[in-house]
Structure 1
Amino acid sequence: MSNDGASEDLTTPEGRRQAFREMNPAAGARDTFLRPEDETTFRAERGFRGFLARLGFNMEPSAEEVEERQWRRLVGTRLNEPKTISVVNGKGGANKTPTAVLLSAVFGRNSGDPVLVWDNNGTRGTLGWRTVQGPHAAHSMDLLAAAPRLKEVKVGDPVIHNYTHYQPEDCYSVLRTDPTLLASEQFINAENFDELHGIVSRFFALTIVDSGNDESAERWMRMIDHTDQLVIASTTVEEHAEAGALLLEALAKRGGHYAELAKNSVVIVSQHQPHGNREQLDRIAHGFSRLARSVVTVPYDAALVKGQIRFEQLRPATRRAWLHATAAVAGALHD
């Protein structure tokens, strides 16, 4: 019935819609059994609380579990367009490759978006050594050679897997360099980088670039031009921190896009010794806080010293720290 008491004509679409609207209460007029979308106080899944919840007790998650769920939700937020994250530090050994790998692993495990980590180091990059090789030995120079014909390939075509190496445990792909080749044999100029970036951006929603150490190289500078989110990797070695800080200051002075990257950057400081100095870690983190959007610290983990990197091999505290670090990057990327 309509509000004025007249019968609706149920033979017409508009009459049926009006009758349906009047049958249903307005929003907020009744209690709902549904939880708000942002509700986080539901049943625990982890630890002793999770054990009791599985026995049937109504146990809410701990504050730590709620925080981790919020981080995963942030990391899992879908991208509206392809984005590029660059992991940088001009000093060798500053933890760039482990940082790029673990950011890729956390995004890969928690997002439905296809993720690629790309070795942009022309001088024997180690990304290929720290990750699983696929059923072929292809690398970035092979992809560059194939780029002209791949431009016509439809997005989603599995041909891209002939050039990248999928990591089945952590759900991301790797574009390797060939560490057996001299730098002169895998030279990438600005035009080459543009071509490669155009190809990978067609197939991957998120590209994480593991940069080289030469900040004057064409491939490094062009990488920065394509970067949407900057990540400074550092350890608690003072020289690594100083190199990262100098880079942020130099970008800030250049203004424009570079200054915005520096201002919105995320710094990830990894403890480089098993029994590191907490005061030193805090001092470095505090020093970066004046230069960057946010700073996250990561504890030492023997699983990252050498060999292939797999997320599940890390200690629980390290996994939590890398989830936190990736959430910080995701938050900056989506803002």
Structure 2
Amino acid sequence: MDGSETGWGRQAEPAPRWRALLDRARLAGRGAEHHDVDHRAEETPEPPSETLPRRAAGTGWTGRAQAVARPADASFGAEPAYRVEATYRVEPAYRVDPRYGGEPAYQAEPAYRAEPEPRAEPSWRAEPEPRAEPSWRAEPEPRAEPSWRAEPVRPPEPAYPEPPPRGRGTASVESRYALLDGGYQPEPAPAESRYALLDRGRYRPEAHPVPEPARIEPPRIEPARVEWRAPEPETELERAAGVLRRELGGPRVLAFANPKGGVHKTTATVLAAATVGSVRGRGVLAWDDNELRGTLGLRAGSARHARTIRHLIHDLAQIEILEGATLLEHLDDYLRHASDGSYDVLAGEESPRFAQRLDQFTVKRVLELLRRTHDVVCVDTGNNVESPNWRTVMQAADQLVVTTVPREDAAFSADWMLDLLHEEGMGELADNAVTLISCPTPGRTPLQDDLERHFATRTRAVAVVPYDPALETGSSIEYHQLQAETRQGWLKAASVMLEPFAR
């Protein structure tokens, strides 16, 4: 081993500096001329010998430190290495570079670290010398104002030739500037020369008036002339629609009656409700109060359910105690509605098995309920004038509508009913009734003229509605599918019915 490798195949730590010195001292006698001199000694000059370090005194460490020196290499021919006991392990200060054999001179550490000489602190801190303030603040030298304001230098005025002697005020415009200094009194100078005269102190505003700009008169606007024109006369249809839109002073019940069947009671009830509802938009109801099997529910409204007056009477006690929107919501479950939503329908009993006669007390309760929810109630009465149901509707009606067709039997039945009402103490209702003549066929017959003259003497008014082919089939009635002439006739007839109540 040459001192660079250990026995375990790892790089050895470099030998301490004193190890080399000890080997040279021990081999000084016989290895001086040895032929196998270390090649490092030839290449590197021998450093000066140093005295071997003495064994240091104990440091108080109780253990024994094993020497870290390796045995001498056999190439020197020296005696076998011995173990040097040391009381402490000397760690190398640095790693020896194998490129050179000599060790650098050991740099002796001073016994103490020289402290830097403290910087002398002055016994007092010199305060900065205060800036000398002048005892007085020099005021800026005022700018010398000239005792007089220099007039701006004007370019010399051109010399005008001396004008020939003329009379005062006759000088031409070209020479008046030259004559100003000679006492010439010019005519009133125009606006462009007054500024030059001001500088000379000779301008007098009153002598040189400034012409005022031309005054532009605003255009004179004549006040609008309001001419009163008489309003155009209202047409009969506009007047009829206006009557239906007015307030009626409360809910009104219209009773359509004639003891004879087939005189258009159901048709008149549906079309009157549709006409009033199309104008007012809400609050109109058609009730089929026929004791037998009524057909109003089939000809009017959409059959969204099968409930009739029988179902309403069954739940009448629970419904009539309700108020406001809750009442309308619950009553709507028993009503049918027109296709256009202009009116509601309370259908009569459509099954003969459940047909029953309504007593007087029940009819009053139903009418009172319908008055609370609708403005106009059109009632299709039955044919039995002796039943309490029929008489109760007549007594509660605000307007009686006597329906008939241009036939003698139908007219005779209507005339007899009016006599009966007078006998029963309802003569006022009969006198204020409206006779409605429906034409089942096109054209006008001589009998129609006789009927109009006759019932005009017995009732308040007579209204005639024309024939319409859409009504001849007897199917569902759609108001918007009627002819324009038919709708106009029903509009006039409905206005006649409600005219006494319109406000």
Band the TM-score falls in, shorter-chain normalisation: 0.7 to 0.9
Q: Which amino acid aligns with 1:309?
A: I
Alpha carbons 1:89, 1:233 under 8 Å: kept: yes
CA distance in 1, matches of 2:340, 2:282: 15
- 1:304 is matched with 471
Report whether the alignment pairs 1:121 with 2:290: yes
Report whether the alignment pairs 1:239 with 2:406: no
- 1:289 is matched with 456
Aligned pairs for 1:1-335 (under 5 A) are 41=232, 66-156=235-325, 157-169=328-340, 171-182=342-353, 185-255=355-425, 258-277=426-445, 279-305=446-472, 306-334=474-502
Structure 1 residue 261: deviation in Å?
0.6
Q: Deviations over 1:216-274 (max 9, x none)?
A: 1111111111111100011112111111111112212333xx11111110011011223
Structure 1 residue 327: deviation in Å?
0.7
Alpha carbons 2:336, 2:344 under 8 Å: kept: yes
Structure 1 residue 170: deviation in Å?
5.5
> Are residues 162 and 276 of structure 1, via their aligned partners in 2, closer, same or farther at CA, if it must alter by over 3 Å?
same
> Are residues 40 and 265 of structure 1, via their aligned partners in 2, closer, same or farther at CA, if it must alter by over 3 Å?
farther
Unaligned runs of 5+ in 1: 1-30, 42-62
Structure 1 residue 206: deviation in Å?
1.2
Q: Deviations over 1:143-176 (max 9, x none)?
A: 1111111122113332211111111426000000
CA distance in 2, matches of 1:40, 1:240: 44
- More strand by percentage: 1
CA distance in 2, matches of 1:115, 1:307: 22
TM-score, length-scaled by structure 2:
0.52
User: What secondary structure does 1:186 align onto?
Assistant: coil
Alpha carbons 1:249, 1:291 under 8 Å: kept: no
Alpha carbons 2:402, 2:436 under 8 Å: kept: yes
> Are residues 272 and 147 of structure 1, via their aligned partners in 2, closer, same or farther at CA, if it must alter by over 3 Å?
same
Alpha carbons 2:282, 2:343 under 8 Å: kept: no
> Are residues 275 and 137 of structure 1, via their aligned partners in 2, closer, same or farther at CA, if it must alter by over 3 Å?
same
User: What secondary structure does 1:91 align onto?
Assistant: coil
Q: Which amino acid aligns with 2:351?
A: T
Alpha carbons 1:138, 1:164 under 8 Å: kept: yes
> Are residues 274 and 150 of structure 1, via their aligned partners in 2, closer, same or farther at CA, if it must alter by over 3 Å?
same
CA distance in 1, matches of 2:245, 2:502: 11
- 2:189 is matched with none
CA distance in 2, matches of 1:262, 1:115: 24
CA distance in 1, matches of 2:350, 2:248: 32
> Are residues 161 and 281 of structure 1, via their aligned partners in 2, closer, same or farther at CA, if it must alter by over 3 Å?
same
User: What secondary structure does 2:352 align onto?
Assistant: coil
Q: Which amino acid aligns with 1:175?
A: L
> Are residues 164 and 32 of structure 1, via their aligned partners in 2, closer, same or farther at CA, if it must alter by over 3 Å?
farther
CA distance in 1, matches of 2:396, 2:349: 23
> Are residues 185 and 296 of structure 1, via their aligned partners in 2, closer, same or farther at CA, if it must alter by over 3 Å?
closer
Identity %: 27
CA distance in 1, matches of 2:408, 2:385: 19
- More helix by percentage: 1
Q: Which amino acid aligns with 1:206?
A: V
Larger gyration radius, structure 1 or structure 2: 2
CA distance in 2, matches of 1:228, 1:181: 30
Q: Which moved more, 1:172-181 or 1:149-158?
A: 149-158
Structure 1 residue 113: deviation in Å?
4.6
Alpha carbons 2:349, 2:355 under 8 Å: kept: no
TM-score, length-scaled by structure 1:
0.77
Unaligned runs of 5+ in 2: 1-223
Ranked by relative contact order (alpha carbons within 8 Å, sequence separation 6 or more), the top structure is 1
Structure 1 residue 79: deviation in Å?
2.5
CA distance in 2, matches of 1:178, 1:251: 27
> Are residues 76 and 331 of structure 1, via their aligned partners in 2, closer, same or farther at CA, if it must alter by over 3 Å?
same
